[in-house]
Amino acid sequence: MITRIVAVAALIPAMVGTASGVASAQAEPKAATAVVTLTYDASQAGQWAAAITQGVQNWNSAVHNVRLQAANSAGSANFVYKATSGWPQTTLGPIVPGGSRGQVQLGQEAVNEGYDVTRIAAHETGHILGLLDHYSGPCSELMSGHGPGTACLNAKPNAAEAAQVDRNYAGRAAAVRPERQQIVIDIWSPSASTAQR
């Protein structure tokens, strides 16, 4: 009997040590995913400034792996916004720091057709982040662009679009890097059935 008591007494510290070891061996909280910061220059965007600010805010609220922010100087930006008189066109990303610079041309033609400036700015920013057009999509899909018509004012990406951008920027690098830069030309016109590429 004494032998059993001694054996149990010897096991108690081992069991307490194991129990406390389990607590310390639990998985550490996951470190926050590294966020890719993309900088932009809107100094050439003129009357589009408020639309760009809102579009950027919409993207920053929806995604986790990339953050858009104004550059400290024009020459240091990863991409630029420019006001133009033609149709909107954008470098197809995902644009990454240290890679080729991108450009968003915010064309007045789309505004003349009656499309919302914030939707246009946010949609074109989606191309910078690596998203393609999906004109047959509903108004709730930002990348449906002109598809739903001029009554569509939605300038926010939906959950699927945000998730794709997060995948594009997972692990601090764009998962899908185009071999060469492509420009997406969006013709925001009810009579246009597809975008020129």
- Beta strands across the sheet bearing 182-185: 66-70, 36-44, 79-84, 102-107, 89-92, 182-185
Per the residue annotation, which of 124, 141, 161, 179 is the catalytic one?
124
Interatomic CA distance for residues 82 and 107, integer angstroms: 8
Please confirm, yes or no, whether 179 is among the known catalytic residues: no
The runs of H, that is alpha helices, within the chain are: 2-25, 49-62, 108-112, 117-128, 159-168
* Active site members: 124
